[in-house]
Amino acid sequence: MALSAQSPKRGIAYGYHSQEDLLALKPGVSWWYNWSSLPDQGIEPNYPAIGVEFVPMVWGKISDADVQGFIAKVKPGAKYLLAFNEPNFNDGARLTPQEAVNAWANVEKIAAAKNLEIVSASPAFNGPDNYGGYTSPTAWHDQFFLLCPNCKVDYISFHTY
């Protein structure tokens, strides 16, 4: 089986990378994240040379007091900021669209401070174990953008299992 060419649209969510992992994944992915503001310590010194970009994530609601600390952790060369992992999951970020709108200003502050493009919150399809009554990621996004038509979002994110 031949691997697809590296694509800027193709990334992977994975923690605890090793240099060998990234080298093996490089032919098919161009970016990775680990649900954090920082790359894994074991790969941090080496990932830029491998050519697989790390994308920091604001996993859930971030307090005003934590914004500057997050900004300080974003590595030089970062281009994007991922927002809110699975906000519609009880074991995810647990944010209704309104709660996400209320927290969005801090996402924008981080992005502006580091000149990052913002990737929307990433809800996913789920069943009865949802938060706020949103089983559909499209319904969650629709409500978010209805409540905040001027929120800065450069890219829309979804994922599924």
Residue labelled with tokens 């990052």 = 116
Strands 53-54 and 29-33: parallel
Do residues 102 and 139 make contact, with C-beta atoms less than 8 angstroms apart? no
Task: Please say if the pLDDT value at position 41 is more than 90.
Answer: no
| Residue ranges of domains in the chain | 31-147
Do residues 73 and 36 make contact, with C-beta atoms less than 8 angstroms apart? no
Instruction: Give the sign of the dihedral formed by CA 69, CA 71, CA 75, CA 81.
Output: positive
Q: Whole-model pTM?
A: 0.92
Summarize pLDDT for 44-100 with one digit per residue, the tens.
Answer: 888 888 888 999 999 999 999 999 999 999 999 999 999 999 999 998 999 999 999
